[in-house]
């Protein structure tokens, strides 16, 4: 077995990759408009309610596909199927579970350009953003497979104690749970949030966001081709309240893995904590809930590098990342110079159809447009609009907004405190480094941060004092790599479960301590394996 390595990105400045990606886009466009089922207990079934369509945010006249709306009963049916599969899946050896994930990773590699093409079409990502998403999904499969093997070795303990007792502690899975994933990383996060518990021996009901159901269906196809037993992975689409609320409130849901908005995450945490006479366990809840991320720029920073990285962090995928740089906190001595450099790069971003690999594509839907434009209007009263601030019109009907930069924003302004989730960032002036860190830490969130400086003492201060889950020095604050930069935040940014890190599978495991005293006359304890298959 090869050691884990991070999947390399494709270079779309190479005409070979660019041409191949365009061909893949044309190929999936020929498949637009098809109808896709639910997937419960290994069977394709229709939803009980009227289906819905997924549309192309770059061109709203185009329908990606038609998807089923599951009912409350079908949601519970999927959960029952997951528990039925768990009865045997929990005892499948870790090596065999890992083999399914390794096989799935190979299938995803084979379909890489196709997956990119569907994501470009359904989520509005440009080529590089889509490919990074796909690569991250492959990384999750590979990394969690390796981690399942590591946890299978158990917890180190004192093996022999008084009385001849032999001790060991093993990790066993929790049961059947629910994964509710977002639209902004529709392949990687949906796949990773399901693959981790599955690798650990659990079973999953996965509900992707209604804006990107096609990506969830592709994951279903991948797991099915990999041979995953029926019921281990179940795929549901439908109403967030009817399906999502049913699954999160059911006393039979053992764990909930959620990535999304703060409000929904807080609601899930609240309802999951409530017990009923039917409860058999305390549900585990893992959440990643967004941020109001800052990049802090010191007075001696390389301003050209800082400006370039700020634009990448603020406007990559139109700022629709929970890690996006929505605040830029700058030492007063370099504030004006950095603002001008950043504004020039922001104005140069071309807005257009993701199909054509535009640097800045659409936001996800009309609701997002309304929210972002509302915040832009607020920003005009709180700061100085430097560039952007309007709907963009690249010649096709889509959800386009110009990359928008505000300056002279107070630290307590709404656009400096509330998550916008769009192509908007705010420049804030700091008197000195103390003031900069005070502003940076002065939000309810604590997900990512960036710090630009040449001063080693100041960098050390940032490493200690900048209170975020993922801190980046002299580079953009987005793009965490699986196995290298475990991802998750502090405060109201979530439970900091650190996806893509060594602790993540432990969320879906419980430690079982085993002590055995040899029977009279025996000299050693017999061998034991939790697995019963294989």
pLDDT, tens only, 460-497: 999 999 999 999 999 999 999 999 999 999 999 999 99
Band (pLDDT 50/70/90 cuts) for residue 521 is low
Strands (E), 324-467: 325-331, 384-387, 404-407, 424-430, 445-446, 448-452
pLDDT of amino acid 170: 97
pLDDT of amino acid 520: 63
pLDDT of residue 116 exceeding 60, the answer is yes
Cα radius of gyration rounded to whole Å, the chain: 24
Q: Report strand pairing: 490-491 vs 445-446.
A: antiparallel
Band (pLDDT 50/70/90 cuts) for residue 532 is confident
pLDDT, tens only, 126-174: 999 999 999 999 999 999 999 999 999 999 999 988 888 999 999 999 9
pLDDT of amino acid 258: 98
Cβ-contact 267, 237 below 8 angstroms? no
Residue 294: strand pairing partners: 327, 449
Location of structure tokens 């990999």: 226
Starting from the edge strand earliest in sequence, which strands make up the sheet with 203-207, in order?
A: 43-45, 38-40, 233-235, 203-207, 176-180, 255-259, 284-288
The single residue of 62, 322, 402, 507 carrying the catalytic annotation is 322
As a whole number, mean pLDDT of residues 298-318 equals 98
pLDDT, tens only, 352-396: 999 999 999 999 999 999 999 999 999 999 999 999 999 999 999
As a whole number, mean pLDDT of residues 425-442 equals 98
The single residue of 7, 62, 147, 288 carrying the catalytic annotation is 288
Instruction: Please give the model's pTM, rounded to 2 decimal places.
Output: 0.97
Task: Determine whether 533 is an active site residue.
Answer: no
pLDDT of amino acid 518: 81
CA distance linking residue 531 with residue 435, whole number of Å: 56
Identify which of 212, 477, 235, 208 has the alpha carbon closest to the alpha carbon of residue 368. 212
Task: Determine whether 322 is an active site residue.
Answer: yes
pLDDT, tens only, 272-290: 999 889 999 999 999 999 9
As a whole number, mean pLDDT of residues 299-303 equals 98
Instruction: List, in order of start, the domains of the chain with CATH numbers.
Output: 15-289+494-511 (3.40.605.10), 293-473 (3.40.309.10)
pLDDT, tens only, 123-138: 999 999 999 999 999 9
Band (pLDDT 50/70/90 cuts) for residue 523 is low
Q: What sign for the dihedral angle of Cα 109, 111, 114, 119?
A: negative
């Amino acid at each position: 077995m090869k050691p884990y390595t991070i999947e390399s990105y494709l270079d779309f400045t190479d005409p070979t990759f660019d041409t191949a990606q365009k061909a893949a886009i044309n190929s999936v466009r020929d498949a637009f408009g098809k109808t896709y089922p639910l997937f419960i207990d290994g069977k394709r079934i229709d939803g009980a309610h009227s289906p819905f369509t997924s549309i192309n945010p770059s061109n709203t006249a185009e329908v990606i596909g038609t998807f089923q709306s599951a009912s409350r009963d079908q949601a519970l049916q999927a959960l029952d199927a997951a528990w039925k599969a768990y009865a045997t899946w929990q005892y499948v050896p870790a090596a065999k579970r890992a083999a399914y994930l390794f096989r799935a990773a190979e299938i995803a590699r084979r379909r890489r350009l196709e997956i990119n093409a569907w994501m470009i079409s359904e989520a509005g990502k440009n080529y590089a953003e889509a490919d990074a998403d796909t690569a991250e999904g492959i990384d999750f499969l590979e990394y969690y497979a390796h981690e399942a093997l590591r946890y299978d070795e158990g917890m180190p303990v004192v093996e022999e104690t008084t009385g001849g007792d032999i001790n060991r502690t093993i990790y066993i899975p929790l049961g059947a749970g629910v994964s509710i994933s977002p639209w902004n990383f529709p392949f990687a996060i949906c796949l990773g949030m399901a693959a981790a518990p599955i690798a650990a021996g659990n079973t999953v009901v996965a509900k992707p966001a209604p804006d990107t159901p096609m990506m969830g269906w592709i994951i279903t196809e991948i797991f099915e081709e990999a041979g995953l037993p029926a019921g281990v992975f179940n795929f549901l689409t439908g109403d967030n309240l009817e399906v999502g609320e049913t699954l999160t409130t059911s006393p039979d849901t053992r764990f909930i893995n959620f990535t999304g908005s703060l409000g929904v995450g807080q609601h899930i945490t609240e309802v999951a904590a409530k017990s009923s006479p039917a409860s058999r366990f305390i549900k585990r809840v893992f959440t990643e809930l967004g941020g109001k991320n800052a990049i802090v720029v010191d007075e001696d920073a390389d301003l050209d590098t800082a400006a370039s990285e700020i634009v990448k962090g603020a406007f990559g995928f139109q700022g629709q990342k929970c890690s996006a740089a929505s605040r830029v906190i700058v030492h007063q001595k370099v504030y004006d110079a950095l603002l001008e450099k950043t504004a020039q790069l922001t104005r140069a971003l071309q807005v257009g159809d993701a199909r054509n690999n535009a640097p800045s594509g659409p936001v996800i839907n009309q609701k997002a447009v309304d929210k972002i434009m509302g915040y832009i209007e607020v920003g005009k009263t709180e700061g100085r609009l430097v560039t952007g601030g309007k709907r963009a019109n690249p010649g096709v009907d889509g959800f386009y907004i110009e990359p928008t930069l505000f300056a002279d924003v107070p630290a307590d302004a709404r656009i400096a405190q509330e998550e916008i989730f769009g192509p908007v960032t705010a420049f804030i002036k700091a008197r000195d480094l103390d003031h900069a860190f005070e502003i940076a830490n002065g939000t309810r969130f604590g997900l990512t941060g960036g710090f630009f400086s040449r001063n080693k003492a100041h960098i050390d201060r940032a490493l200690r004092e900048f209170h975020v889950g993922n801190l980046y020095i002299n580079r953009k604050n987005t793009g965490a790599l699986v196995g290298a930069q475990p991802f998750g935040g502090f405060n109201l940014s979530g439970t900091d479960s650190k996806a893509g890190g060594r602790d993540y599978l432990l969320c879906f495991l419980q430690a079982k301590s085993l002590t055995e005293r040899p029977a009279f006359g025996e000299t050693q304890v017999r061998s034991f394996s939790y697995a019963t298959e294989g």
